[in-house]
A = this chain, B = another copy of it.
């Protein structure tokens, strides 16, 4: 995998805030789609409010009032526990330090992107009041299906949206209840049904693992079964989650996924799933194919993270352009061949 540039493609500085009082702190984890000769990214844009060093803020959207609500906590407050750049705990309750919405960026060459002035999707319901995050885009029939993390005090669920033009979006509601994220839809109907990979996050027993689900109508989902989990001792020892939506190849469904090890370092690898039984793993990369090495991957809002979320076919046959979030802050790109990825897969699950 070769980085498309020696810098991130999109940084927070490239994104106009959604209102003058807000500050963009992240433009990352993008869904990707090709429409004609244009590449469209749907960015997760994380914003916060204010600049004061002596307070920590947690912005949220109040769907009833249609207004941003910003809770401020003094850094001296004994009830405040700052956990990392992303999270705080106040009187025992976790809150986010930023609110994410989704924003469109467009490019002809896949490297230079023009970012829209205004949000494409903004939180609207009570289940979205802490933000919309990490969109994954799957072209299916005559439209694009977009799975999005909906975050609120109720937890992290995944919702489905659809669009034809990335201007008008239709909301289809929650497809898997909390805690479930990194949900990607298949660009086809393996075994005759709509299909998805989900990533339940159990609390008491079990690791965050990749599961399969299918649907006859995209609204109701069943057929839940595990596909693959973390591998003790490996680069994906602690948790795994789908990255880019599965890609149809002659060998099976090719998946780029992220894995996390005991040091909370996010890397990426590939898996190959059986064409007609996509819950069956044919092969899985023994070594990570992408690790946080560039400066913007090692350091940032939350350093040590590469997080692929979208890919489109490149200009050359068999070439893919991969888009990923780095350090929970910026968007970067890679170029890789489908054949290269298949060759990097070793047998066994």
List residues of A whose CB falls within 8 A of some B CB: 94, 126-127, 130, 151-157, 173-180, 198, 200-206, 209, 211, 213-217, 219-226, 229
Say whether B206 contacts A155, CB under 8 Å. Answer: yes
**Contacts A176-B177, A206-B179; A222 near B219 (Cβ below 8 A):** yes
Say whether A226 contacts B156, CB under 8 Å. Answer: no
**Contacts A180-B177, A200-B177, A204-B156; A222 near B224 (Cβ below 8 A):** no
Say whether B215 contacts A220, CB under 8 Å. Answer: yes
Considering the complex, give the chain B residue whose CB is closest to the CB of A219. Answer: B222
Selected from B156, B157, B211, B216, the residue in CB contact (under 8 A) with A224 is: B157
- A179 to chain B: which residues have CB within 8 Å? 179, 200-206
A341 to B177, CA, bound (A): 30
Selected from B126, B204, B220, B229, the residue in CB contact (under 8 A) with A201 is: B204
Query: Whole-angstrom distance from the CB of A241 to the nearest CB of chain B?
Result: 13
Selected from B206, B209, B221, B225, the residue in CB contact (under 8 A) with A222 is: B221
- A155 to chain B: which residues have CB within 8 Å? 200, 202, 204-206, 209
In the A-B complex, the 4 residue pairs with the closest CB atoms = A155-B206, A220-B222, A155-B202, A220-B220
Say whether A178 contacts B200, CB under 8 Å. Answer: yes
